[in-house]
Structures are given as C-alpha cells and as structure tokens.
C-alpha cells in the first residue's frame, strides 16, 4: 500500500528496511503559502521533504529584494546545509505553492548520514543536482529573455506538482524572478496569446506543455537531464 513517504522521490527510493526505520520519525506537516521554513543564518531543527508543496530557495538582499535561486518539491529535501557541514545557509526557504510534506528531525538525519551506506550517497547526488539548478538559474537570469525565464520557471514548478495548474500571483512570480511585475504581466500575456497557458486571478493552467518546452531556453533541459542522471529509481542497502 502506498505510504506518504512515497510522495517524495528521495524517500521513495530508499531501501524498504531503511524507510521503515525512518517512518516513525517522519511527521506529516501542512505547508501553507508563504511559510518560512528557514532563514539566513538559521540552524534548522528539521529537514523537510515536500510531497505536494513547492519550496523556493531565495537569496535576499539587505533592502529586502529577493531572487529565487532554486525550487524544491517532491523531488528533494529542504535543509542540505545540515549534512553539507555548514549547518546554516545564507538563503531563505519559503513555501511557494501550498501543500503537504514530511519533516524529519535534523539529529536523526545526521545520525543516518554519518552511518554511511545509501543515505549519504543519495543526499549528495541530490545536492549535486540542486547545485546544477542554482548554477543554471544564474546563467538563465543573466543571458535569457524574461519569456524564456518564465517558461523555465513554470516547467520546473510543474515537474514538482501533480497537476498542470499553479496557484501563483504575478507579483509573487516577479519576486521569485527578481523582475518588475509589469514584465511578468507582459511575458505571461505572450504565453497566453500563444495558447500555451491560461492565466486567471492567480491561477496559471498550462495548456500546451510541449509548446512551453519548445519556447523555453536550454536551461530547463539541462536541469532536467541532470536530475534524471543523478537520482536513481531505487538504491540498494
């Protein structure tokens, strides 16, 4: 019978015996829109494995301006700084799309990580995929048009959802991309005129995903290929 843990790709590929050991420590949580899971300088008491929610990792400036550097959904975990040795990070983790997840005490995860075996192997490969997403986002923001950036962002978000609809205001999208709201309005309008999406009152429905992929830049495909390469369907104990 499917378990809540199988809604997250990292948990789903753990060996059954290892997952059974984790399950008593995995706490189901509701992740409402806008909830901050970690802030710059925080040491997290829990790591989060989203199942239906999406979490944005944001770089925040002194004046409050922010830009998204990566998204985490059912593909991964929020809190990699813990097992990377730094314990805290300079980024903010905030729920971009409300949903559900599972949280795990940091102390338990570190115990499992330090034991060796499949857990550090899986988490470090995921971290490499996440770093690729961050690097590609930086390149995309510098070299590609806002239309292409929006397509990339929509596709990355869709990959982490179970539907083709996102509940997202243009203001929030602008904050994520680090651009003016008027620019997002224009870019979203072009995608709607092309028949790729439908946008109404904060709801974005993707009507033509293949068309959206064709309109996107190479950055989305590079990120998707690296996730597919690094994250296995199953790992052995």
Looking at residue 58, which CATH number applies to its domain?
2.60.120.10
Query: Is position 228 within any domain?
Result: no
Residues 121, 12 within the same domain: yes
CB 30 within 8 A of CB 104: no
Write the pLDDT tens digit of every residue in 122-143.
Answer: 999 999 999 999 999 888 888 8
What single-letter DSSP state applies at residue 131? H
Which carries the bigger pLDDT value, residue 47 or residue 166? 47
Query: Is position 133 within any domain?
Result: yes
pLDDT band at 78 (very low <50, low <70, confident <90, very high): very high
Cα→Cα distances 209→92, 170, 175, Å: 30, 20, 24
pLDDT band at 200 (very low <50, low <70, confident <90, very high): confident
Q: What is the dihedral of CA 74, 76, 60, 34, to 10 degrees?
A: 30
Query: Is position 171 within any domain?
Result: yes
What is the predicted pLDDT for the residue at 1? 38
Residues 159, 75 within the same domain: no
What's the whole-number average pLDDT of the chain? 86
Cα→Cα distances 171→31, 70, 176, 178, 188, Å: 20, 18, 9, 10, 12
Residues 48, 125 within the same domain: yes
Which carries the bigger pLDDT value, residue 46 or residue 189? 46
Q: Helices (DSSP H) in 100-203: which residue ranges?
A: 106-114, 118-143, 146-159, 170-177, 181-193
Residues 37, 104 within the same domain: yes
Phi and psi of 77, rounded to 5°?
Answer: -140, 145
Which domain, by its residues, includes 180? Answer: 145-216
Q: Shortest CA distance to 109 belongs to which of 217, 26, 231?
A: 26
Write the pLDDT tens digit of every residue in 47-73.
Answer: 999 999 999 998 888 887 778 889 999
Residues 95, 129 within the same domain: yes
Measure the CA–CA gap between 61 and 97, rounded to whole angstroms: 22
């Amino acid at each position: 019978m499917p378990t809540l843990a199988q809604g997250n790709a990292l948990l789903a590929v753990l060996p059954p015996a290892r997952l059974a050991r984790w399950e008593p420590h995995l706490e189901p949580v509701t992740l409402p829109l806008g909830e901050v899971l970690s802030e710059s300088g925080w040491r997290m008491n829990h790591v989060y494995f989203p199942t239906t929610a999406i979490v944005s990792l944001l770089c925040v400036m002194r004046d409050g301006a922010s830009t998204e550097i990566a998204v985490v959904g059912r593909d991964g975990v929020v809190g990699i700084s813990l097992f990377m040795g730094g314990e805290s990070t300079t980024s903010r983790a905030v729920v971009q799309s409300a949903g559900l997840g599972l949280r795990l005490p940091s102390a338990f995860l570190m115990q499992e990580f330090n034991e060796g075996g499949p857990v550090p192997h899986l988490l470090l490969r995921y971290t490499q995929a996440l770093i690729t997403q961050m690097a590609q986002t930086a390149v995309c923001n510098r070299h590609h048009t806002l239309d292409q950036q929006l397509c990339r962002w929509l596709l990355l978000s869709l990959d982490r959802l179970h539907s083709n609809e996102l509940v997202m205001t243009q203001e929030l999208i602008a904050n994520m991309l680090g651009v003016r709201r008027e620019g997002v309005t224009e870019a979203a309008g072009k995608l709607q005129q092309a028949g790729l999406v439908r946008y109404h009152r904060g709801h974005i429905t993707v009507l033509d995903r293949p068309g959206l992929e064709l309109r996107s830049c190479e950055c989305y495909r590079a990120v998707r290929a690296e996730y597919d390469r690094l994250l296995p369907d199953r790992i052995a104990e």
